[in-house]
Amino acid sequence: MLKQVLAPIHPDGWRFIAIAVAVAVVLFFLWTPLGWLGLLAAAWCAYFFRDPWRVTPLREGLVVAPADGLVVSVAPAVPPAELEMGDAMMTRIGIFLNVLDVHVNRMPMSGRVVKLAYHPGKFFNASLDKASTENERMAIRIATRAGGDIAVVQIAGLIARRIVCAATAGQEVVAGQRFGLIRFGSRTDLYLPLGWASLVIPGQRVIGGETVVADAHSQEPPRRGIAH
């Protein structure tokens, strides 16, 4: 029951929470209303760095969302050059995370981390497609047992200035496993072989580690959505 009610805090967030609490204490001495605002900021930090429990569906070929957020694009694109995956088009699923979303990233599939590559860049609004190619990013290439390599890319946004990645080259990973986070608004892109069926559409919200976004073995045609 506690797992459903109390979300753990990501280790990277404790220092921010501690700083916010310390500032709130000082503000209470200066002026009580400011102190309450400081406590509100500390509570928001705790909320931002929450790391809720997730139940990951497991089956060979399933791809789960690497992050919470809004699907902003599902379209062909060339994977990041630094991952050395060639110039052939892949299906790119772009997920935008606003400041209220859970920012912990999770592995989309089980496999082995082949390569990691950091690329310095700009800080455009992460909801824009140009953020995928021009913003600061950490790209991860994963060899899967489903018949092809995939890539997951952590992308800094307009406010985000810090990408945290705990994955290492050669590491064996499992679907839904935590591997990092991006602080204060960001984007996470997923690159999949073109033949894999995408099961999400732009405008759809997904849950990291739980929502199935693609299936390597399905022959289902591309989905369309209707706004209600």
Residue 3 pLDDT level (bands cut at 50, 70, 90): low
**Predicted structure pTM score:** 0.90
Residue 187: what are its φ and ψ, rounded to 5°?
A: -145, 145
Could you report the per-residue pLDDT of 26-53, keeping only the tens digit for each?
A: 999 888 889 899 999 999 888 888 999 9
Split at pLDDT 50, 70, 90, the class of 85 is very high
Domain coordinates in residue numbering, the chain: 2-48, 62-215
Q: Is the pLDDT reported for residue 184 higher than 80?
A: no
Question: Rounded to an integer, what distance in angstroms lies between the CA atom of residue 191 and that of residue 102?
Answer: 21
Q: What's residue 161's pLDDT?
A: 65
CA 106 to chain centre: 7
**76 strand-pairing partners:** 91
Would you call 59 exposed, middle or buried from its count of C-beta atoms within 10 A (0-12, 13-18, 19+)?
Answer: exposed
* Residues known to be catalytic: 186
The gap from C-alpha 196 to its chain's centroid, in whole angstroms, comes to 20
The CATH number corresponding to 62-215 among 2.70.70, 1.10.287, 3.30.460, 2.30.110 equals: 2.70.70
DSSP state of 104: E
**Cβ-count burial of 140 within 10 angstroms (0-12 exposed, 13-18 middle, 19+ buried)?**
buried
Convert the pLDDT of each residue in 123-171 to its tens digit: 888 888 888 999 999 999 999 999 889 999 999 887 656 899 999 999 9
Secondary structure (3-state) at 85: coil
